[in-house]
Amino acid sequence: MIVITGATGQLGRLVISHLLKTTPSGQIVAAVRDPAKAADLQALGVHVRQADYNDPASLDTAFAGATKVLLISSNDIGNRTAQHQNVIDAAVRASAALLAYTSVLHADTSLLGLAAEHRETEDAIRASGLTYTLLRNGWYLENYTAGLKGALEHGALSGAASDGKIAAAARDDYAQAAAVVLASGQPVAQVYELAGDTSFTLSDLAAETGKQADRELPYHNLGQHEYRELLVTVGLPPAVADLLANSDFAASKGALFDDSGTLGKLIGRPTQPLADAVKAALA
């Protein structure tokens, strides 16, 4: 059994979609907090089991018969290390042959504030004795393209990444990579640094967006604190604003750049180009 945690999330659903192309549905378990939200997966023949990162007993039930487990990182920032430890411990008790984890690009050296919990989780996975694969995912293209219509309405794209190169890829690209690792009958690498085939600056993103929208869209670079305050002003919770502003500033120092091409090689195709992502976002 291949168990996918957080299976009703945006990434989890995509992972299962790719797995179903190579793996019988009866060999896939969707571990979810609310099974009612996974009725569509159950209709496809996927096993749906209730599981909560904060409830070790539920994880033991969900992981029964697990040969491989994909731990999709929690979005509960500040509590993730303890939650992930619960998943790791349950995978140990289930004697899983492989534990894969969605970490962050260059987690061991990253300047991203959110990388700390990923490093702590990676350390716990290594200490568990399990065979593991760390899927160190770079930034999602969707993190940027989701706000493009708003940028056009306001007449500018703002950020704090300066001229930092960002090798982002589509969520679907990362999902396919996870599915490839989980479906493989061969040994897989312990660490994959995953990012888009090509990189861009936020100025490049603004230019591409303006080109497709047939209007000028400048990029306004702000200081980290100034950008954080702007995000709060437009309605983001302070904690989210802190995260995004920190991430942008770290990107200015190269934290979201990688040119290894590992992701494209792993999935056997080029990653989604920036122009295609912008087109989809503006449609």
Tokens coding 277:
């992502």
Q: H or E segment at 101? A: strand 98-104
Note the pLDDT of residue 103.
98
Note the pLDDT of residue 188.
86
Interval 91-127: pLDDT, tens = 999 999 999 999 999 999 999 999 999 999 999 999 9
Task: Say yes or no: 120 and 158 in one domain.
Answer: no
240, part of any domain: yes
267, part of any domain: no
Note the pLDDT of residue 80.
96
CATH number for 234: 3.90.25.10
Residues 6+ apart with CB under 8 A from 153: none
What's the CA gap between 235 and 90, in Å, rounded? Answer: 38
Note the pLDDT of residue 252.
96
175, part of any domain: no
Phi, psi at 31, each rounded to 5°: -95, 115
Provide the number of structural domains found in the chain.
Answer: 2
Note the pLDDT of residue 124.
98
Query: Cα 89 vs. chain centroid, distance in angstroms?
Result: 22
Q: H or E segment at 49? A: strand 47-50
Task: Say yes or no: 144 and 110 in one domain.
Answer: no
Full residue range of the structural domain in which residue 244 is found: 139-169+195-258+272-283
Task: Say yes or no: 80 and 146 in one domain.
Answer: no
Q: 53 vs 76, 89, 210, CA distance in Å?
A: 10, 11, 42
72, part of any domain: yes
Rg (CA), the chain: 19
264, part of any domain: no
Task: Say yes or no: 121 and 16 in one domain.
Answer: yes
CB 181 within 8 A of CB 135: yes
Instruction: Pick out the chain residues at pLDDT < 70.
Output: none
Note the pLDDT of residue 187.
78
27, part of any domain: yes
Residues 6+ apart with CB under 8 A from 127: none
CATH number for 33: 3.40.50.720
Residues 6+ apart with CB under 8 A from 268: 180
Torsion 102-74-244-156 (CA) sign: positive
What is the SS3 assignment for 216?
coil
